[in-house]
Amino acid sequence: MTHPGTRLPAPAPVAPAERDLIGRQLGRPPRALAGVVHRCPCGQPDVVETSPRLEDGTPFPTLYYLTCPRATAAASRLESAGRMREWQDQLATDAALAAGYRAAHEAFLATRDARDVLPTRASAGGMPDRVKCLHALAGHALAAGPGVNPIGDRAVAEMGEWWAAGPCAAPSAQDRQP
């Protein structure tokens, strides 16, 4: 487990074949891709880290991005079921949850600031006061490891085994060549 105050090391560069696979997962070329920070048990990427700035220099505060379409669908189902609203309400009444969520926000900013300091102190998913995007929060939880983002951990736990049906992206013709 990574301690909430710990900055995560920069991810390794992404090879062209992996970039292609991520593009197939997303249905478009990835933007500002810095590296893969979590893999499904099937072995394919499910969370990538993006640069804090897009290629044209525009600030891009979302550091972690779910790429697996099955994981994304699972997070969307939780949002549709009202889990964001429930967890938002709990932040107002559960001091320990609120403190953990604020620590997750600080950990997120510390990691992003180690990459590039942005003019905004906004983090992701509504942190530290709102629950706004379970995709971003689950991505952060998967990248940082259990115990860093309590709302992200809840989302991941309730998303189920999105990888159980096997890899979400078929290998390209290039990947299948000997």
The three-state DSSP-derived secondary structure of the chain is CCCCCCCCCCCCCCCHHHHHHHHHHHCCCCCCEEEEEEECCCCCEEEEEECCECCCCCECCCCEEECCHHHHHHHHHHHHCCHHHHHHHHHHHCHHHHHHHHHHHHHHHHHHHHHCCCCCCCCCCCCCCCCCCHHHHHHHHHHHCCCCCHHHHHHHHHHCCCCCCCCCCCCCHHHHCC
Q: Which of 39-43, 61-65, 95-99 has the highest mean pLDDT?
A: 95-99
Task: Enter the pTM of the model.
Answer: 0.90
What pLDDT is stored for residue 174 in this prediction?
55
The identity of residue 148, as a single letter, is V
Contact yes or no for 145/9 (Cβ under 8 A): no
Report the pLDDT value the prediction gives residue 1, as an integer from 0 to 100. Answer: 46
HSE, side-chain direction, 13 A CA sphere, residue 58: 7
The string of pLDDT tens digits covering residues 105-138 is 999 999 999 999 998 888 889 999 999 999 999 9
Q: In what order do the strands lie in the sheet with 33-39?
A: 33-39, 45-50, 64-66
pLDDT at 173 over 70: no
